[in-house]
Structure 1
Amino acid sequence: MSSAAPSRLSLYLNLIRWDRPAGWLLLLWPTLAALWMAADGFPGWHLLAVFTAGTVLMRSAGCCVNDVADREFDRHVKRTAQRPVTSGAVSVKEALAVGAVLALAAFGLVLTTNAPTILLSFAALAVTLLYPYAKRVVNMPQAVLGVAFSFGIPMAFSAALGGSEWSLAAINAAVPRSAWALLVANLFWVLAYDTEYAMVDRDDDLKIGIKTSAITLGRFDVIGVMAFYGIFLAAWAFLGLRLGLGRWFLLGLAAAAAQVAWHGTLIRDRSREGCFRAFRANHWVGFAIFAGTVADLSLR
């Protein structure tokens, strides 16, 4: 009995990509940057803990749902063929149960915030569940992922600024237009790095009929990725300045832009290794912007 337990734990950790934190860091940095913006500085330990733990939990739950939805596709892709659900090491019911437990734990954290944030969490969950199936019908499913990966931004504003009323009006009062604009801007970052990710598997995806942005863009994939990055950085710069941020924030954006230029050199020959390396390094782009935001609001 004791020898079986670590085996199951190891499989569950593999299922939620515990050994690959880059995934949840991609969600975390823009969410925390928005939290600092909404609070006009340090948001307090409670909200920091809620959004950090909640991000890890929801990303992990999303992995469970994604692996169940893609189990038939993943067996045809070398990089994903040995995932626990695809290989049969973890059953569909088991994976969904793990995902449900993680999502409920995240919801428990949301319940400690306020009414508008709790209402927004249902929309965030709906988008999370929708994404794995979008790649069957949407030519750029990365855009759906972009909404899912950016929904922490309006939730951060809602948690910092919201009240106790249960209504759409309360959400509108708590979440300014700038927060929704940041969500749209962040979506372009997700389009950039997830297109890099899709470039890794393009040959396999073409064989099995999955729709991705890398396939849709075709020979314009590299140009598309760099354009997405450019829109993201320009939009965050504009919105950050509108929200009163200054030189330290811009310095963080400059560090992010330098990394983006490096990513361009990694993906220009479209090699699997280069594209995957660029994708995995993207969390440092987000960290640079977060660090600049924190520095700007702390050093006023």
Structure 2
Amino acid sequence: MVDRSPDAGQGASGRPGADPATSAPDLSDMRHDDWVAHWLPAAWGPYARLCRLDRPVGTWLTLLPALAALVQAADGWPTVWRLIIFSLGALLMRGVGCTFNDIFDRDFDHQVERTRFRPLTSGQLTLRAALWFAAAQLLVSAALLLAINAYSRWLALALVPLVVIYPLCKRFTYWPQAVLGMAFNWGMLMAWTDTRDVLPWYGVAMWVGAVLWQIGYDAVYAYIDLRDDRMLGLKSVAMRFGDQGRAWIGGFYAVTAVLWTAAGWGMGMDWPYYVVMAVIAGHFVWQMTVFDVRHPERGLRIFRSNMQVGVLLIVAGLAGTILPV
């Protein structure tokens, strides 16, 4: 799937130079009147949109599971220093991934109404400028390695190839969302290694559950882009699932809930953790009652609602460790 989600993109209707009062409406995923346009210098705007600073949902979906893992690994409140480092890491690596996505997809994006005004494919930025910007983000990310332990540094280096190759996966596999899920949630593994210098089975189980969760919610959104993906010859899990999307996604969500529950048992979580897990399971059920492959436009609401799942993961960790029982 081309990275054309509302979060991954740039907003709605930001045709360069267009007058919103007189121009015909378009389906562009850019906005002409967002905070980037109002508050950043004009020369900075394309770079902010390239790394999706104007679309924070993807950053939250990267960060929240990592924060939950920090809570679990710390058996309560993590240090403020780790919260800062992991938050910056999520922001930067998500930006790197989006930048490489637009670099690799620049010849696809201009063929799609919703992505044709993105900075690179529309000519607001040159390929050379985008590559330099990707290198700069990687350099700043590398500086963060000084703030984590050796185990976590190796894990961070192992993440980079996943971030770079994800945009290419949609060209040869129906499972690019699996690669994206591994990369998006990599911080969960690093939370354990940096906090405890070990990677226990229950930390890995939480990560695998998060990967399956992301395959599920990205599949929901992939149905929105199904027509465009077919036109461009790209692959996604939505094509693989077809009319059986609800069964596939519901299955991924069910395994996610089982893995997260089993991991909580392995961590010795107190009973409030399982109460919150039941709420998460209920949220998954709600998603599947709303989702319908015949009405893919509902996917946006479902996709965004997964930020609530990320928050609930943090609440579960805190409830299972610091609440009195």
**TM-score (structure 2 length as normaliser):** 0.84
How far does residue 181 in structure 1 lie from its aligned partner after superposition? 2.2
C-alpha distance in structure 1 between counterparts of 2:244 and 2:223, whole Å: 12
Q: How does 1:178-193 map to 2 (within 5 A)?
A: 178-193=202-217
Asked if 2 retains the 8 angstrom alpha-carbon contact of 1:266 and 1:277, the reply is: no
How far does residue 133 in structure 1 lie from its aligned partner after superposition? 0.7
Give yes or no for the alignment of 1:24 onto 2:59: yes
Asked if 1 retains the 8 angstrom alpha-carbon contact of 2:220 and 2:296, the reply is: no
SS of the aligned residue for 2:121 comes to helix
- Give the alignment's Cα RMSD to 1 decimal: 1.7
Give yes or no for the alignment of 1:11 onto 2:60: no
How far does residue 233 in structure 1 lie from its aligned partner after superposition? 1.4
Moved more, 85-94 or 194-203: 85-94
Give yes or no for the alignment of 1:125 onto 2:160: yes
How far does residue 247 in structure 1 lie from its aligned partner after superposition? 2.4
How far does residue 209 in structure 1 lie from its aligned partner after superposition? 0.7
Residue in structure 1 matched with residue 285 of structure 2 by the alignment: 261
Letter in 2 for 1:48: L
Q: How does 1:91-170 map to 2 (within 5 A)?
A: 91-162=126-197
Letter in 2 for 1:104: L
- Alignment identity in percent? 35
Moved more, 79-88 or 48-57: 79-88
Asked if 1 retains the 8 angstrom alpha-carbon contact of 2:65 and 2:310, the reply is: yes
Match of 2:75 among 27, 40, 47: 40
Residue in structure 2 matched with residue 298 of structure 1 by the alignment: 322
**TM-score (structure 1 length as normaliser):** 0.90
C-alpha distance in structure 2 between counterparts of 1:15 and 1:182, whole Å: 30
Give yes or no for the alignment of 1:73 onto 2:97: no
Letter in 2 for 1:261: V
Match of 1:87 among 122, 125, 135: 122
Residue in structure 2 matched with residue 209 of structure 1 by the alignment: 233
Q: Compare the two structures and name the one with the higher helix fraction.
A: 1
Give yes or no for the alignment of 1:233 onto 2:241: no
From the superposition, tell whether residues 8 and 254 of structure 1 become closer, same or farther in structure 2 (CA, over 3 Å). farther
Asked if 1 retains the 8 angstrom alpha-carbon contact of 2:109 and 2:121, the reply is: yes
In structure 1, the gaps of 5 or more residues are: 163-173
SS of the aligned residue for 1:57 comes to helix
SS of the aligned residue for 1:200 comes to coil
How far does residue 75 in structure 1 lie from its aligned partner after superposition? 2.1
C-alpha distance in structure 1 between counterparts of 2:277 and 2:189, whole Å: 21
Asked if 1 retains the 8 angstrom alpha-carbon contact of 2:261 and 2:274, the reply is: yes
C-alpha distance in structure 2 between counterparts of 1:106 and 1:248, whole Å: 36
C-alpha distance in structure 1 between counterparts of 2:111 and 2:184, whole Å: 26
How far does residue 269 in structure 1 lie from its aligned partner after superposition? 4.8
